[in-house]
Chain A
């Protein structure tokens, strides 16, 4: 590797976080802008739904509207303790079996 080339490569590596941060920030901005097209739809939909809770763990916890039915949801399991409901862990149960 020539000295000039080593210098260019080294500079590129040192500046790589700046390039990556700029690129990711741009991508995130573009995705947020695309999502903002959905804002009126979300607004119209939210007025017809009972809560703005996300449809994430209803099947597992049997609590779709957690914020209304279990306002202490954030603390129910105890800080840093494993979740007794199967709603959060690294391995999911075989959900395809449930539907048979």
Chain B
């Protein structure tokens, strides 16, 4: 019986095609917009947290005038005997401004004993790892493409140090790792030191790994006692930064989408504010030919469900296709910013069934229920009175 009422509801919608398409289209657009922002935000958070575990438990910087500056590598010796500290590594990295790019390139020095990079472990698209002391570099695929470089080419980076040597490109990172390497140039530590004009004995920061990550807070407190003025950054606190940064951007984009959300509310208000004369007349006729109030309510509920369900399905599909199949045109700059060197790697969905169902139910539930009240009012009215008016 219920499926017959469902079929009747579909035919009733077909009689009011224009209204059904306007309602469904507006709803689908609003769902697509909200879903796309959620999909993109979750995907970026997941990407930012994917490499998080591989990073040092604690990073120590030196502050001068409240700003990070270089730290003496000798300070590492003051930290090695803290219980739970496994290693303290002075790191050399920084930025070089490329006028041709009008942007910064991140120079990363490779210290001795660093894990190897190769095509075999999937990091490099072509070429090989650096040979120590050979003045070589590995660049991100996007950076190499922008500079028009291929393995074997040499590049002299702008620096105030006349002793800095031109570097030979010996490898490029895989483009699927673009999100991490688009603007990265990895070279020998000595070359990085020369390019960044970092005096011998200085480092950009100290990377500390612990034998027990749970003791990071205690170790951090000890470090601040031993190196007054140092800035101690714990790995777990960085996870919160990622989470909040993308959440804030998502909130901003959703805020800008308020007109679209308002359109959805107007549609809902249209549903709640009552039925048109034609629909009232239709309900009266149904009552006159023997339909019960319950049958009429089911018919109206099914009408809303049909519009809401198909619009939600279409909206989710459009939102997903927008972000993961088309690469989020228009929305990506709004949420992730832009740069001359812009990673082109496809985003990986982090959305799960629960989130998809959550969005679906949040839209369909209120939309369907809003239709019941005016339908109940019309269904309980006297059919003769309704037809006369």
Chain A positions within 8 Å of B, measured between CB atoms, are: 1, 3, 6-7, 9-11, 13-17, 19-22, 24-25, 27-28, 31-32, 35, 37-62, 64-69, 71, 73-75, 77, 79-80, 82-83, 86-93, 95, 98-99
Contacts and interface: CB of A to CB of B under 8 A. Distances in A.
B310 A59 contact: no
Given A71-B241, A80-B252, A90 B334 contact: yes
Majority SS at the chain B contact face: helix
Contacts, number: 269
A99 B317 contact: no
Contact of A41 (B122, B242, B364): B122
A51 to B, nearest CB: 7
18 contacts: A7-B4, A13-B310, A17-B316, A19-B313, A21-B360, A48-B117, A48-B186, A52-B51, A52-B54, A54-B180, A57-B337, A62-B104, A67-B233, A67-B242, A71-B237, A95-B338, A95-B342, A98-B102
Interface size class of B (residues with CB under 8 A): 35 or more
A56 B179 CA distance: 7
A54 B343 contact: yes
Of the listed residues B146, B177, B337, B364, the one surrounded by the most CB atoms of chain A closer than 10 A to its CB is B337
B165 to A, nearest CB: 21
A47 B129 CA distance: 14
Contacts of A38: 122, 176-177
Contacts of A69: 68
Contacts of B4: 3, 7
Interface in B93-122: 93, 95, 100-104, 106, 108, 110, 114-117, 121-122
Interface of B: 3-4, 6-11, 14, 44, 47-55, 59, 61, 68, 91, 93, 95, 100-104, 106, 108, 110, 114-117, 121-123, 140, 146, 173-174, 176-184, 186, 204-205, 233, 237-238, 240-242, 244-245, 247-249, 251-252, 255-256, 302, 305-306, 309-310, 312-313, 316-317, 320, 324, 330, 333-343, 348-353, 356-357, 360, 364
